[in-house]
Structure 1
C-alpha cells in the first residue's frame, strides 16, 4: 500500500470536509504542479486542488448545492490559501 504525503493545506481541507460532511470517500488531490506558470501558482505549491467526495449529505441535492456545502466548509481557505478547487461531489450509490 502506498501513502501519498500531504501538505498542510491538503490536510486541512481533508480534516474540514471529514468534520463537516462525514464522507464515505474523500480524496484531496494537489494539482498545483500542473499549473506551474499559471495565475495563482506562486511556486510554493498547494494552490490548486481537486476534491473527490461521496457523502450522504449530498443526497437529493443538485450539483450547485453540493458545491456550496464544500465551499462553506472551506470558505476561509478558499479566500486565503487556495487559488482553485475542482469539486467532484456525489451521493452514495451515484
Structure 2
C-alpha cells in the first residue's frame, strides 16, 4: 500500500474534511496486489470557487510523480463541503484488458 499511502499523504496538503483513497486495481486486468487504479473522493474548503478542471489540476499537480509512474488510472470526485452529498458515484466495471 505504498502508493496509496503516498497519495493520501500528498492530498493532505488540501486540508480535506474527507479523504477516501480506494485502490480499485483488483477490478482491472493487472497482477494481484497492484497499485495502478485509484478512486479518490476528497472534500475540501480549498475547492470553493474553483471549477472542476482547476480542482483536477490541483490534484494532478500534487500527484505528478505517481501519475508519471505507478498510477495508470485516477478517478477523482472532488467537492466543497457544501457540495458533498455523503456518497461518491460508483466506478464502472473494467471494459477491457486481456487478463494476466
Which TM-score applies when normalising by structure 2?
Answer: 0.79
2:3 counterpart residue number: 9
Equivalent of residue 20 in structure 2, options 14, 19, 27: 27
1:75 correspondence with 2:75:
no
Q: Which runs of 5+ in 2 are unaligned?
A: 84-100
**Aligned residue number for residue 91 of structure 2:** none
Q: Which has the higher helix share?
A: 1
Q: Distance in 1 between matches of 2:49 and 2:39?
A: 23
Structure 1 residues 5-34: Cα deviation after superposition (integer angstroms, max 9, x where no partner)? xx110011000000x201000000000010
Aligned to 1:81, the other structure's residue is in SS state: coil
3-state DSSP class of the match of 1:15? helix
| Contiguous gaps of at least 5 residues in structure 1 | 1-6
Give the aligned CA root-mean-square deviation in angstroms.
1.0
Displacement of 1:42 in angstroms is 4.6
SS of the residue aligned with 2:66? Answer: helix
In the TM superposition, structure 1's runs of 4+ consecutive aligned residues that sit over 2 Å from their partners are 41-44
Match of residue 95 from structure 2: none
Give TM-score scaled by structure 1 length: 0.84
Give, in whole Å, the separation in 1 of the partners of 2:79 and 2:9.
Answer: 18
